[in-house]
Amino acid sequence: MAPPPLLALKDGFVTFGGRPLFTGVSFQVGRGEKCCLVGRNGSGKSTLLKVLAGEVVLDSGELFVQPGIRLAYLAQDPQIETPTIGDWVATGLSPDERDQRYRVDAVLEGLSVDGGRSPANLSGGERRRAALARALVGEPDALLLDEPTNHLDLPTILWLESHLATYKGALVVISHDRSFLATISRQTLWLDRGLVRRSENGFAAFETWQEEIYAAEEAEQDRMDKRLAAETHWLHRGVTARRKRNMGRLRALQSLRKERSERIQVQGSVKLAVDAGDVSGKLVIEAKDLSKSFGDTVIVKGFSTRISRGDRVGLIGPNGAGKTTLLGLLTGAVAPDSGTVRLGTNLQTATFDQQRAQLDAEATVWNTLTEGAGDNVSVRGQPRHVMGYLRDFLFEDRQAHSPVKSLSGGERNRLLLAKLLAKPSNLLILDEPTNDLDMDTLDLLEEMLADYDGTLLLVSHDRDFLDRLVTSVIAVEGNGAVDEYVGGYSDYLRWRPAASPSQPAKTDAPAAAPRIERQKTVTKLSYKDQRELEELPARQEALASEIAGIERELADPALYSRDPDGFSRRSTRLEEARAALAAAEERWLELEMKREELAAGRT
């Protein structure tokens, strides 16, 4: 039985700029429920959260907030008006708790915020951390978080996940961080075309649920209106197409990681310089024994790497550890104190600018891409009509002649990506590109980068993005410690030393395996994994058969009126079976790729 609601919305209607943003939105959130609120950029997620927080008034409908509860809201642009950060965070406590400053100190420490600082000179990221501390410190009954992981480094995100895991109140959170949402959410609220759909599964099952709804809508619309169905398919086709390509992309990524592993193993040889001739024309960056300090702060000490054409390298580490400095060292923008950096020839570098300074606010979207010349865009040397290229980046035709200043922040990011990825380049540098990007844009960016022929250097705290994309990870741990690991963030966690500062090791955990170049050779799956791999196809077949049977029963139009309880039970089981099938398919893919990788390493 669902818990009684702490927050509820009934027939909520909000207009924005003369157009409806919500049309009869109804849902509720009970104590202990942890809901992620998802939807396309511009769909109104932040406004909906403000409605729940009482900061936006409904044009019509009813908002229910259980009397007497404590509600905390994290806005995207918080304003701080106290002498110190600590004083402002303390206002998140109730009046009779204001003397409990130890609670303020604890949450500020977890979020790496200095409570004694003045808010006057805070960066946007520091201001948001302080606002998050204020929202958490009072342990409210209901917690509304709008993009809480923006500008947080990985250790802080992990701390926040741990904190929310023990939270007992009602949680509604908006975030583009898939790993974060998959970890903390238990229910999903999907704001789509002015309505809210609810799933009793967390974000991990969202993509499967979304595709099912899109497919069902297309089938229904096809029967009613062929033209409307075609337009809906155009709008959403990128989502399902990307999912279907995942298996092939993951296999290709495993192959690239294997190649990267072989090169990193060579890196440890004292004959590194001798190999340069063998990769003439393919070498992008060769760094040897790099060291860099600022005063007493050591950023890098004795780090070497070799990056070749086609490598996709992620840089990770806590904020302030020196990721951006290392990026500057590797690209020649920062001079090392000692060591050498050799750059390849004919490098054409493109850099993602989060400030979007490369965009002219007065120019149209069309002219931004074509630079005022004709109706074609040169995409890596191949002509593309500007309208078709805009559709690839999820723009609607009507937006082509709109000025850039009329676009939302997420749409401007898409436009900048379209411009950046179209021009010729063979070295792409992305420093924190995932901040403030919605999931559709992240999907799109991932696909474009997977198809990118050049070399990628990526600084990011987005674990899922790193796992899906990079061939190796350079971890900047602080105090000069920098090491490279083959694979994505999950592989880094598997192979990093146990005492890595980026995630404190549990005292009772066994020592982690050494870095990839020193790991012991494993040639086959464990008995348990092999048994699971053999049993998964039968489980998938059984689940698919069960799903088909339930769907046939639910297709009976008289079922609901004849047996409403039976209809409800079947609907619930259908959702559970679909989620179980998706999980089984993902697990089979994971084990199969692991088996192939081990087999390849044996030959």
- Position 99: which residue type? D
Alpha helices in 371-488 (DSSP H): 386-392, 409-422, 439-450, 463-469
Is 324 known as a binding-site position?
yes
Is 318 known as a binding-site position?
yes
Cβ burial of 117 (10 Å; 0-12, 13-18, 19+) is middle
Distance CA 34, CA 388 (A): 39
Q: Which two structure tokens, joined as six digits, stand for 338?
A: 């000692």
CA distances from 285 to 127, 176, 267, 304 (A): 36, 32, 13, 10
- Sheet of 195-199: strand order equals 71-74, 142-146, 170-174, 34-38, 187-192, 195-199
Is 528 known as a binding-site position?
no
Is 321 known as a binding-site position?
yes
Residue with tokens 């939270």: 167
- Crossing angle of helices 246-267 and 564-602, in 10° steps, is 30
Torsion of CA 510, 511, 514, 519, to 10 degrees: -30
Concatenate the DSSP letters of all residues of 590-603 into one string.
HHHHHHHHHHHHH-
Expressed in angstroms, the distance from the first to the final Cα of the chain is 55
Is 150 known as a binding-site position?
no
Residue with tokens 């606010």: 361
Is 314 known as a binding-site position?
no
CA distances from 9 to 21, 113, 311 (A): 15, 35, 49
Number of separate helices (H) and strands (E) present in the chain: 19, 20
Return all residues near 115 (Cβ < 8 A) that are at least 6 apart.
Answer: 84, 85, 86, 89, 104, 105, 108
Distance CA 435, CA 310 (A): 24
Is 520 known as a binding-site position?
no
Rg of the chain in Å (alpha carbons): 26
Is 280 known as a binding-site position?
no
Is 322 known as a binding-site position?
yes
Is 518 known as a binding-site position?
no
Measured in degrees and rounded to the nearest 5, phi and psi for residue 471 equal -95, -20
Three-state DSSP at 296 gives: coil
Which of 20, 89, 124, 72 lies closest to 436 in space, CA to CA?
A: 124
Contact by Cβ (8 Å): 292, 300: yes
Is 41 known as a binding-site position?
yes
Q: Which two structure tokens, joined as six digits, stand for 418?
A: 């379209």
DSSP state of 41: T
Is 18 known as a binding-site position?
no
The sign of the torsion formed by the CA atoms of 504, 506, 507, 512 equals: negative
Distance CA 169, CA 177 (A): 22
Residue with tokens 């464990």: 526
Is 194 known as a binding-site position?
no
Centre a 10 Å sphere on the Cβ of residue 427 and count the other Cβ atoms it contains. Answer: 20
Is 68 known as a binding-site position?
no
Measured in degrees and rounded to the nearest 5, phi and psi for residue 487 equal 100, -165
CA angle 586, 490, 538 (to 5 degrees): 20
Residue with tokens 């090392």: 336
- Binding site for ATP, by residue number, is 39-46, 317-324
- Binding site, by residue number, is 39-46, 317-324
